[in-house]
Structure 1
Amino acid sequence: MRVVLGLLLLLLGLCGSGTQGEERGLGELKSRIDQLEREDAVQATELRSLETRLTATESKTSDLEKENADLQTRLSSTESRIDQLERENAVQATELRSLETRLTATESKTSDLEKKNADLQTRLSSTETELLVSKSRIEQLERENAEKPKVAFYTALTDTGYVGPHNTDTTLKYSKVFTNIGNAYNPATGFFTAPVKGVYYLQFTVCGNHTGLMGVFVFKNNQKIMFNVEWKEDKLYKYFTKSVVLELIAGDTIHLVLPSTYSVYDDVDNHSTFSGSLLFPL
């Protein structure tokens, strides 16, 4: 198109210039035409190149637009997923802080419990050691106790009522035997005989039930070691109780004697009693 326009302009110029320059004008025209043809050829080549590049560019642009649309879709999806993840992360962050608080409290409590457990373990070990020592001591005491003599008796005088008064001193024979561990008391004689050397606890209760004197002597072997007496003026029950702690050797005897003219009383209710036991051997 540019070549045609150029030729037309050139012809117009030539027409206006006259005959004199016909030959010169034809030469210039030919030269101009050649130049325009070359330019046209170059421009055609450039045009084809541009068209090719345009086609490629348009194709690439179309591809890029499609890719961009796809990327936009993926971006929207990614942004949506990011929003969702951010919300989830916010929730998890809250839960995490809560868990961290609970964990801190739990770790503190665990530390306290570990200290308490360690203390309890120490105390338990100490207690177990003490128990072992105590058990050993108990077993030793049990062995010692098993080896020790066991002496204890409890008796009452009679079921017949009054005993005495007599014209002479009379040994009281406590005939109702309720306890006689070690068989140290003899109801036939009224004597308690120490089976081993030791310290003994002895006790007696005397009851009176009529006007007059009531009392007993306490004899160790043949030696009087105690005398107890009461005067009774009515017919109501009257009592006194005495006890002694004596060191006796094996074979020593203890018995109670009713003085002459004195009386005591006993019946099925066991008002007058005599008892004793070994506190510990020596």
Structure 2
Amino acid sequence: MATIPPVTRLSTRLIRILGFNPSPMTLQGTNTYLIGSGTRRILLDAGDPDVPDYISHLKQVILDEKVIIGDIIVSHWHHDHIGGVDDVLNAIDNNESCRVWKFRRTDAPEPTLENTVCCELKNGQKFEIDGATLEVLHTPGHTTDHIVLLLHEDNSLFSGDCILGEGTTVFEDLYEYIKSLCIIKNTKPTVIYPGHGNVITDPIDRINHYINHRNEREAQILAVLQSNPNVEFKEMDIVKVIYKNTPENLWMAAAYNVNHHLRKLTIERKIIHEHDAWKYVHSASL
């Protein structure tokens, strides 16, 4: 795992500023991206709240580049992407003119910001600034409001939490998530800039890996149930079998993903759900 520096110039139109919020779920921290080559730029995501090191490095980049942040685009509602927005707005001189953009949630109220109200992103919406044309693609699954950004100039893609620089991600809806991976794959990105982890230089291989990984996990889960017909399993029972080589501090996240596979298999009538558990019965199989 290559170390991600606090600030990295990735191209003439792109600077990555690390969020300084490492954790098992955020890896080395949230990647935020300052996009564009002119004096007015776009910031993608803002990390966690109350992280002085992040704000310090962001302010230094703004000073060194002699730029302003005209827009902040939030990839989705999770706190490590939207939580730092108020701190960023407090740190910049043009906070009253800086717009914050986010796709609307369909499953819960929107997060509340102290200093502004988010403008609503739309699927297919474009942002044009010096050096960059960004297109918004709605990619639900990780969350209902998740979006990725396609940078038209070099057909690169900012994947948020749909695809990570290492490992796999969690999701709220597996069916929608797989559809979103296919949307990303169809853009044929040249490179992927993830919300966590290092730059992905083999994007199509990585997307295929994600899709194949989910299919393989589903087959493993189904095999556990099929080998124990009429035995009731809870998520953690299955995790202890198929994730036995995964560190235990990640088992809760694994159980979350297993739950979504089980829900999908139940919809497909390959297993049944009763007594708050799942089991395979021959009559449930298609």
Same fold (TM over 0.5): no
- TM, length-normalised to structure 2: 0.19
- TM, length-normalised to structure 1: 0.19
Specify which structure has the higher proportion of helix: 1
Bigger Rg, structure 1 or 2: 1
* Higher RCO (CA-CA < 8 Å; seq separation 6+): 1
